[in-house]
Amino acid sequence: MKAGDTRRRVALVTGGRRGIGRAIGYALADEGYDVVVNDLERDAAADETLAGLVARGAQARFVAGDVSKLDGHAALVDAAWGAFGTIDCLVNNAGVQTNYRGDMLDIPPESFDRLLGVNLRGSFFLTQQVARRMIGEPAGDVTRPRRAIVFVSSGNAVVATATQADYCISKSGVAMMSTLYALRLAPHGIAVNEVRPGIIRTDMTADVFDKYDGWVRDRGFPMARWGEPDDIGQAVAVIASGRLPYTTGHAFHVDGGIHIRRT
């Protein structure tokens, strides 16, 4: 925002209808953002998210779209941009987990392609579309960015899990993608950072709850509790707030310390 501009900023959150995406939207609403929620379809969960955003004082809109479908990106961005006249923050949260947990020597190509299509390829080209539009608008003081792009990746960007190799590969790609966009967009006053969730209690982790719950209870990492979607939401809100004006290209671990190397 320019000095004296009191308008609410606008965020587009992909995969925003539930789980971590919903928590990100809520945290951004509390931070003073109006929010455009993107997901595959508008259902009861999406309506609950929209109502929650409004209850937090935000204006909220839903834009349907599949980030893996590149031919739909232009329409998705047009609709999101048109909802409130701009986008100040893009949160690339949409992502999928592997359909195949097993020996990486047996991963089927369709599982690999699906993960890269959503987690990596889709996010790259959607960000390309949004970044072009952002660059076309006045940036203000580019040394103190007020516009942000956030990639939600995973601790698996750097922690190898051989039974979900395709997922790890997709998220390591997201990490480099975030770094590259940070380099490219800094001159335009757009800060780009990455958030790496650890073990977060969501629908996506429900099938491995029993596997990890014992590790959590046995203090397998420093802050021995399950992460919650709000932990990720709060991290994204801080990054998007503008209170970190000299930070770009950083990876924020929100994982209770799992990433810490110990002996």
DSSP-assigned letter for residue 85: S
The reported pLDDT for the residue numbered 233 is: 98
Average pLDDT per run of 10 along the chain, which is 263 residues long? 66 97 98 98 98 98 98 98 97 93 93 96 98 90 88 93 93 97 96 94 70 74 86 97 96 90 75
Residue 194: closest CA among 144, 249, 156: 249
Say which CATH topology domain 9-254 has.
Rossmann fold (3.40.50)
Q: Residue 253 corresponds to which tokens in the numbers above?
A: 């671990």
Burial class of residue 55 (count of CB atoms within 10 Å of its CB; 0-12, 13-18, 19+)? exposed
The reported pLDDT for the residue numbered 257 is: 85
- The CA angle 219-220-224, to the nearest 5 degrees, is 45
The reported pLDDT for the residue numbered 3 is: 45
Is residue 24 a contact partner of residue 13, using CB atoms and an 8 Å limit? yes
Q: Residue 57 corresponds to which tokens in the numbers above?
A: 């004082």
The reported pLDDT for the residue numbered 220 is: 75
The reported pLDDT for the residue numbered 207 is: 65
> What are the angstrom distances between the C-alpha of 159 and each of 45, 162, 196?
32, 10, 11
The reported pLDDT for the residue numbered 94 is: 97
Is residue 221 a contact partner of residue 256, using CB atoms and an 8 Å limit? yes
The reported pLDDT for the residue numbered 100 is: 86
The reported pLDDT for the residue numbered 219 is: 72
What is the rounded distance in angstroms from the CA atom of residue 37 to the CA atom of residue 62? 5
Is residue 151 a contact partner of residue 194, using CB atoms and an 8 Å limit? yes
The reported pLDDT for the residue numbered 13 is: 98
Q: Which residues are catalytic?
A: 154, 167, 171
